[in-house]
Each structure stands twice: as structure tokens, then as C-alpha cells.
Amino acid sequence: MLKESLERLCAPTVQPNAGWEMNQHLGDTATLRAHIMAREQWEIDRSALEVNEEACLGRGSFGEVHRGTWRGTEVAVKRLRADMASERELLEFRRELAIVNHLAHPNIVQFLGACTTSVPLCIVTEFMPGGNLADLLAARGENRPFPLGRALNWALDTAKGMRYLHERRPTMIIHRDLKPENLLLDDAGRIKITDFGLSKSAIQLRGERSQSSEEQTVSRTTCGTWMYTAPEVYKKEPYSPKVDQFAFGMILYELLHGCSAFKNMSPEEATKQLASGTRPEIAAAVRPELRALIERSWAHEPSIRPSFAEIQRTLQTVLGSLQPGDFEDRLALSSRLNDAPQPAQRNAEGESKQCGCVIA
């Protein structure tokens, strides 16, 4: 069954009666055909790819991600699991592949190639040694935010990557699953966006279109992760690219507060809050311009949400006004001070004592 589905999806043409789901996931026939014809440019010889079965880096929307090696380079290998190899997951795999092999930006995880001529299907990308933002936030501990400068640099990296996706021509990309787990760090501490399994390109959008591409009505399907999913999606209303700005607002809140926006609620309770327009309280210590940015980004009305170009400008302005101390990790500094040798003490004879030793 899997082999037959794979052969049909990788066929050089798409049948006229391929159906609604094929059109929704893959876009028009001409684009898909051009994508398949380009396969020789990115198809990876499986014999040249070594996958470390013990090093599972995480799980994406349709499979597991493992650490691997390709031509002597460390890579990440996202594989379609055998137990997920239904036709829908194959379509999702093809959709992600059709998107990522056309993306090139410093804040997007670099696509290197794929194995599509045999199972398991896999997508190979650059390896990101810094892990993901969700794990960093969890390891940091609740209510212990990162230094403001570092948090804003990560937010700025995210905004730059998302601006590239939204302003990409001739077809924009809506991520639809922007969340800390999909924000990875390279060895320089720079954020890059990954996991395009739920993304849509402009050729796949259906429904009304307004004059601005930012306001296009694109779908009624449910997508994303509950905490970062815009209320219009929950309510199964037509939604626009502004669903990504909503997710960004939730992420910026977490970066500035060091905790989830709905840490004391169940997903069901939080979903009701989001759908009704209720938002978590922003700490008084958050700078006014950042408070305004969060409130606009997660606004209930999509038209109020700023573009990523505007988000980028705001973050750059705030970063330019920070002091050197705003980039220091005060928790780490406190730890270093506590661990540092204590000042020497003098005894009655004027001798200096430290660590139980007499210093002449």
C-alpha cells in the first residue's frame, strides 16, 4: 500500500481527478510537475546518508528527526515513520518538501536534500546544535526570563525569517505552526525556523482575496498547536497570514516572562480564553513599546496585527536603545559571584586568611 501511494505521489504527472485534498496540499499541477522535475537536484543517495538511530532530536508534524551524517557533515534527518505512512502523511511530506527546497534565508533552517525514491522517506537539513527554544525555556526554569537583549535578538531572528516567508515572491508562505519547538539555534546562538509540514504557499490558498496579500483569506482548516493558534482558526472561520503574527505574540510573551502564557490552565480552558478574546496579563516591568507589540500581535481582530516588517522595525529600535547590562545573564552572574573566592580576612596579627590558610 505504501509503495503504491509513494509511486503515485511521485509520478511525473498529476491525474485530473486527484481530488480536493491533493489540490489543497500540493497546489496546481504545473507547480508540482516543475517540483518533481527538479528532483535530481536535491535527491540524496541513501547509501551516502548515515542515521544515528539512538540520537532522536525530536518529533515533527509527520515523523521523527534524527542526527546523522552526510558526506562528512553533521545533518538532521526527518523521516516519515512507518506507522504514519498513510496517504495523508505522504501528502504532508510532499508539501513540506515542495516548500523547503525553494527557501533560502539566514533565519530558515537550510534544506540539503531528500530521499524520495525508497522508504523511509526523509528530508535532510543542516544540524542545529543549540536545540530548540522550547527546551531552553524549560531548562531555564519558570519565571526566569532570559536577558532582555538576548530574548529580543531571538525574537528579531524569528521576525526576519517570518518576514521572508510572508514577503516571498511570487508565492508567500504561511507557516501555520510557529512555536518555540520549531525555533532552533545554531552554534552562534541564532534562531532559525523549521518544520513546514503544516505550511501553505500562496498557490495553495483558497477563498476570498483582498487587495493586500497580508489580508488574504486562505483556509478554514484547523492547524497548528493550541497555545499558538489564532482564535479565528479555533472557530473554523476563514483566516489570513496573520495567524503567524498571533503565534509570534505568544512566543514574545514567553520570552519576556520566562513562562507559558497559560501555565495554570488546561488546553481546553486556555482555548476558550483565547477564542473569547481574553489574554494573559503582561508584567508591569515589560517596556511599553514591547507591551504594545505583544498586544497588537495577539489581537483578536487580525487586521490589528502588525506585519513582520513592522515587528522587525520595532524590535530593532528597542534593541538599539538597550544598555550593555541588558544583554548580561544576571542569573549566571549571580552564580559566578556566589562561587567566587571570598575576600581575604585579617587576623589579630594582621595576617591575611582565606580558605583556612594563612597568607604571609
Indicate which residues carry an active-site annotation.
177
Name the grid cell of 16: 485530473
CA distance 219 to 317: 34
DSSP-derived letter for residue 216 is -
Closest CA to 31 of 193, 170, 188: 170
**Positive or negative torsion for Cα 188, 191, 195, 200:** negative
HEC assignment per residue over 14-74: CCCCCCHHHHHHHCCHHHHHHHHHCHHHHECCHHHEEEEEEEEEEECCCEEEEEEEECCEE
Task: Output phi, psi for 115, to 5 deg.
Answer: -115, 110
